[in-house]
Each structure stands twice: as C-alpha cells, then as structure tokens.
Structure 1
Amino acid sequence: MSNSRYDDDSDRVFIRSKWGTSRYVYNPRNPVGLTLIISSLLFAVGGMYLVHHPDLLKASDRWSESELREAVSAATDELASEALFGPGGVASNYGEILRARIAEQGDHSEDGLTVTLASERPESALFDGGAEWAYYTVRADGTDAAFCLSVDAMKRKREMGYEFVTIDVDYGACPAS
C-alpha cells in the first residue's frame, strides 16, 4: 500500500509542512529540494565561520618589494597625470592621498603601508599660486624596501588643480631634513 500523499509530493520542490502549520518547506524527496536544503545548510555554516574568522576576506597587509615598487609607480603616475592634488593643499594630507592610491594600486589594505613626510611641511600656494614641494618616504610591512618620493607641483593662482605635478621615485628612504 502506497501513501498517495508522498507519491504526489515527490515531484514538487516545496511542500506543506507536516507540523500542522500552513508554511511551505523544501521537499527532501525532490532532487532540487534536497539540493536547496544542503546548500542552505552549507551557506549557514560558511556564514558562521566567516563571522568568527573575518580576516579571511581581508586584503593582506604583507607586501613584496616588487608589488610595492609597481604600486608606487602606478599610483604616482596616476596622481601626476591628474594634477588635482599637490603636497601643500589646504588640508595638507597628501601623504594620506598617496597612501590610499598606493594601496589601491597594490590590492592591499592601507594598514600595512606607511607614508611619512620626510621634509618640512610644504606651504600651500592656494591663493597666490606658485611652487609646492615635499619629500615622502614609503614603506610597507613584509619588505625592507623603501621609496623616496619627491613631489613638485605648480599651483595655479586662485584656480582648482595644478599646472603640473611631478613625482620622482628613488629607491631607499628619503634623507632626513
């Protein structure tokens, strides 16, 4: 004697719950329903694992010398071609702009990257126009390599942007001033 209820439900992905409610649940007798049950469980277990190990999806803080060199080169080329920011800008946060762009180019987190001002703080030429310059040392966790960035910029008088920004990259830390 076969139970006609199970025979009729074997081809449906969703069936009514047998617990006395009118909810629909996955049908374990249907291959698609069984796949949905298993994938839901795996998804929940994976989510719980990620909750307890959030650093798995985080970008690495460790840099190699070649990665750092390529990221510094690409970021400085991009910043020089844009000529939107200079070292003496109003907020004087050019080091943070460099840090963010280098990390972006290197596909690493900013946490392992250090950009320090190696010269005196540049004076802003925002209102009068003129030259701005500064030296920045770039270092990263995972490598002993350091790069000295010499940033020269010519600010337009009372206009947005710069006439030009040049960034020279030398291997090694900048000399202390």
Structure 2
Amino acid sequence: MTDSRDDADRIFIRSTWGTNRYVYNPHNPVGRALIIGSLLFSVGGMYLLYHPGLLSGSSNWDGDELRSAVTAATAELSSEAQFGPGTINYEDILQARIAEKGHSSQDALTVTLASDPPDSDVLNGGAEQADYTVTADGTDTALCLEVYAMKRKQAMGYDFVTTSIGDGACPDS
C-alpha cells in the first residue's frame, strides 16, 4: 500500500471512491494540468458544437472562388438529377451545395429566384425552368443560373437537369 507522500510524484493514482480505476492525481503538477486541460478541452468542444461557423473559412468570398464553387455545385446537381427548379426550397439547396464547394461562409452567400416560380406537376411531369442570381459578400461578382429540368411522369427524380451560368445578375422577368 502506498501513502500520500508516494502519491505526490505520480501522475495517475487509483481512485479513492471505491473503484479500482486510475484517475489524474491532483497533488501532482502534471496531473493538475491534465485535469484543467481536460476541462478546457471539453468546454471548447461544447462551444464549437453550438458555434460551427467558427471553423469555416472567412465570411467573404472572392469572384474566382464563387465562380468555381457555382460551377462545381451545379455540375454535381445536374449529374444527380434529383433536385430541380420545381423542388421546394431549391434556392436553399443551391446555396448549401455552393457553400460546400467553396471555402467561405454560407451566410455570406445569397441565391435568389430572378424569374417566375417554376410550375411543378408531379403527376404529369414536364419541363421546369427558372433563373437564379447568385451573389456573395466580399465580391461584386454576380452570376445568373438558368436551370432547365425535365420531370418524369409520376416519379420523384428528373430525367435531366441542365444549368447554364452567365455573368451578371439575371434580368428580372
């Protein structure tokens, strides 16, 4: 059995709470530092859990980053052909995909519908078309996305989705 004088130089000691496990030794300076470090690490982790934007990139976009993120996101959405302009909250889907492909904040990105809302007829299928203007904080660059999709008859997906990207904001219809 060890006494308390021997415990002062150990980093880990056996628990005195009736269990047979090892715990940090608060009488040792390294053990005390590990206790404090563990608490700070867990508090920092909890803070980041509720503030995930702290780990994202800067809040400002630049023109080249915006253009490449839009190009990559629209190519991915077109190849999946799962979502089209008639999908509810398609602007939010576009915004989230563009933000995934970029290195800046999603909050600084804006996707707005610049045309009439597309008609979506799930039962009969048909063509859906809409224009979206993409802008971002930190750049004067604006891009116009013309999205055209062909909806399958009584199906969840699309036959195809095509997107053309133009410079400048979309003209209001």
Task: Output the TM-score relative to the length of structure 2.
Answer: 0.78
Percent identity, please. Answer: 50
Mapping 1:27-42, distance limit 5 Å? 27=25, 34-42=29-37
Paired with 2:149 and 2:102, the residues of 1 have a C-alpha distance of 25
The aligned counterpart of 1:62 is 60
Q: Name 2:147's counterpart in structure 1.
A: 151
Question: In terms of Rg, which structure is larger?
Answer: 1
Equivalent pair of 2:25/2:31 in contact (CA under 8 Å): no
Matched residue, 1:6: 5
Q: How far off is 1:175 after superposition?
A: 1.2
Deviation track 1:41-69 (CA, whole Å, cap 9, x = no partner) reads 24445636x85xx5872423211112211
Q: Which amino acid aligns with 2:9?
A: S
Q: Tell me the CA shift for residue 143 of structure 1.
A: 1.2
1:131 corresponds to 2:127: yes
Going from structure 1 to structure 2, the CA distance change for 1:167 and 1:55 (only over 3 Å counts) comes to closer
CA contact (8 A) 1:100 1:110 kept: yes
**How much does 1:141 deviate?**
1.1
SS in 2 for 1:57: helix
CA RMSD between the two structures: 3.2
1:117-128 pair list within 5 angstroms: 117-128=113-124
Shift of 1:109: 3.3
Gap regions ≥5 residues in structure 2: none
Q: Determine if contact 1:113/1:141 at 8 Å carries over to the other structure.
A: yes
Change (3 A) 1:35 1:117: same
Structure 2 residue aligned with 1:26? 24
In the alignment, what sits opposite 2:78?
A: 80
Q: Which amino acid aligns with 2:116?
A: E
Count of paired positions: 167
Contact 1:125 1:132 in 2 (8 A): no
